[in-house]
Each structure stands twice: as structure tokens, then as C-alpha cells.
Amino acid sequence: MAAQILSGKEISDAIKREVAAEVADLSEVHRFSPCLAVVRVGEDPASAVYVGSKVRTADEMGIISEHLHFSADTSEEKIIEIVESLNGRNDVDGILVQLPLPNHINERNILERIDPEKDVDGFNPINAGLLAQGYPALAPCTPAGVIEILKRSNIQIAGRHAVIVGRSNIVGKPMAMLLLKENATVTICHSRTADLASITKQADILVAAIGRAGFIRDEHIGDGATVIDVGINNFSEIEAVDDLFPVEQAEKRVAAIKNRGATLVGDVNPKEAMARAGHFTPVPGGVGLLTVAMLMKNTVQAARQRRLQ
């Protein structure tokens, strides 16, 4: 029996409708609209696409957006100056600095300068610390989106064993904190974990966030587990398509590789996950769609906390 697909689009669309309604209420009742400022440095093509998506979505939600784009040779001091100026503006509720930054800019130095109350990406150490201690905080958008998928799909979290493969500050660690907050028993695995499959196979909820295309396979997945694929990887090996994708997808994936040079695949082998798991988030069409929706939700949350409390 094939796994049930958890549609990121349906859940993302529902969150966006809720956010748009809340923004309309803030505008009508409290006479202001939340404002999101996005800082991009350099000409990374993927960053340009991501920022464009965030700005468009903000506009659709009724959120005021500012896109501040700087050349790749802009100094770290200049970006810190820009962040500090946004911190000081009362009309700006959320600040997002698009990663990655050029090599000469220390990402940590930038992220630590963002006012925690405006840190809608949830990367500032203050928010990370609040999250780790179980206090209310602006949480990183991707793991927060995973929680929304689980809850809105009526998948029980409390009392279940959740295994996370990946320990990044952006996904793995905050994912663990959010699952603990929902009373799951949490195990974090990583590149040094011995006999990985013996641990991941115990998971009721398996979250893959390691950045390795199709790495999680049949031997890693317990029967009926909920498998959440956070990975987004470009895959261009036509000869390996049949190994990764079900028959009904293979032809389309080959066409994508021929036309665009690559197709998207997550950290999980979708063909084997579909045959073993109980629930599965596809790539594309899964967790990735929630990231932007949760950014909008965080922006509204930040605005409410700053202006109304």
C-alpha cells in the first residue's frame, strides 16, 4: 500500500489565507500593515528566486515589503549598518537577511545584529535560546512548517518517537526543540552516527534534513512511519532516475533533466519511501512550500508582539 502524500500546497494555502485575514484585520482595526524588509547581497541566482517569492507572497498577503539589494562586494560593515537602521525603524516589523552571504561577510555577525523581536527567520541566538528553553519565540520557518504539516494532517506527535537526520542550526536543532515542545521523544542523528538505519527505523516520525539527494532509503524507514523530507537537491543523473522515482514520475523527471539540466529531489528516495512509509512529503510540493508561508506568519506575529503588546 502506497504512502499517503502530505500536500504542502494545501496546508501552505490554508496558512496564507489565515495570514491574509489577520493582516486585513490589523489594517482595519489597528490601522497598520505589517512590514517585512528583505536584505540580499550579491547575485546568487537561487537567492534571487527565493527573495522574489517572499516579496511576491508578502504583497499578496497585504504585508508591506522592502527588498534591499546590494552588490556582492558590499562590505560587512555596510550590511551591519543597514540591519541596524532597520532595527531602529518602528515601521519595520520583520528583518530577513537572505543566506548565503558572500564569503567576506561573516553570517553570524549579521544574524546576531538583527533585533530578536524582528528576527522573522528565527536565527538570532536569543530566539534560538528561547526556543531551546521552551519559551515563546520566533521559530525558524522550515521546522515550524513541519510542525504545521503534522498537526494539520492529524498526525500524532505527543508520545511518538521522532528521529531527525541532520543537526544544522537552521533545521535540525530547532526541529528537535519544536518536537520536544509537542511532547515527542526526539533523537538527532548526523554524519557521525553509527548504524544510522538501526535508529531511523525506530522512528514514528522521520525528518530528513541532511542535504544528500535520495540518501534515506528503504532500510532507514520503519513500516508505516511518517517521513518528512526537508531536502531540496538538484539531481541530473538520468541513468539513476528509475532508482529514485516511481514509474509514473520517471518520464517527467527525465524530461526535466533534459530541458533544464536537473530535477528536484529531496533527501529521501521517494520511490522506496512511498512503498514503505505511511505518510510522505514530496519534493517539490512538500515542506518547501511551507517555509514562505511560515515567514509571513512570523512577520504578523512579530508585528503583533511589537505593536500591540
- What pLDDT is stored for residue 72 in this prediction? 96
User: Which pLDDT score is estimated for 309?
Assistant: 77
For 115, the enclosing helix (H) or strand (E) is none
Q: Which of 98, 115, 119, 301 is catalytic?
A: 98
pTM: 0.94
Q: How far apart are CA 94 and CA 194, in angstroms?
A: 41
Q: Is 252 a catalytic residue?
A: no
How far is Cα 2 from Cα 279, in angstroms, rounded to an integer? 9
234 vs 156: which has the higher pLDDT: 156
Averaged pLDDT, 244-272: 91
Residue 191 has pLDDT above 70, yes or no: yes
CB neighbours of residue 298 within 10 Å: 26
Using the Cα atoms of residue 250, residue 265, residue 9 and residue 46 in order, give the sign of their dihedral. Answer: negative
The 10 Å CB-count burial string (b at 16+, else e) for 7-34 is bbeebbeebbeebbebbeebeeeeeebb
Give the pLDDT confidence of 39-96 residue by residue, as tens digits: 999 998 888 888 999 999 999 999 999 999 999 999 999 999 999 999 999 999 999 9
3 state DSSP class of 170: coil
Question: pLDDT grade, residue 292 (50/70/90)?
Answer: very high
DSSP single-letter state for residue 240: G
Residue 167: band (very low, low, confident or very high) from pLDDT cuts 50, 70, 90:
very high
H/E stretch holding 182 reads none
What pLDDT score does 93 carry?
98
What are the residue boundaries of the structural domains of the chain, listed by start?
33-115, 141-289
pLDDT at 34 over 70: yes
Asked if pLDDT for residue 1 goes beyond 90, the answer is no
33-115 CATH: 3.40.50.10860
Band (pLDDT 50/70/90 cuts) for residue 2 is confident
For the chain, give the longest Cα–Cα distance.
58
Catalytic pick from 93, 115, 121, 204? 121
CB atoms within 10 A of CB 195: 8
Same fold, 33-115 and 141-289: yes
Contact at 8 Å (CB) between 233 and 198? no
Q: Which candidate in 16, 54, 118, 173 is catalytic?
A: 54
CB neighbours of 188 closer than 8 A, spacing ≥ 6? 163, 164, 166, 167, 172, 173, 176
For 98-144, write each residue's pLDDT tens digit: 999 999 999 999 999 999 999 999 999 999 999 999 999 999 999 99
Nearest-angstrom CA–CA distance, 3 and 272: 10
Mean pLDDT score of the chain: 95
* Fold (CATH) for 141-289: Rossmann fold (3.40.50)
Q: Is 121 a catalytic site residue?
A: yes
305 catalytically annotated: no
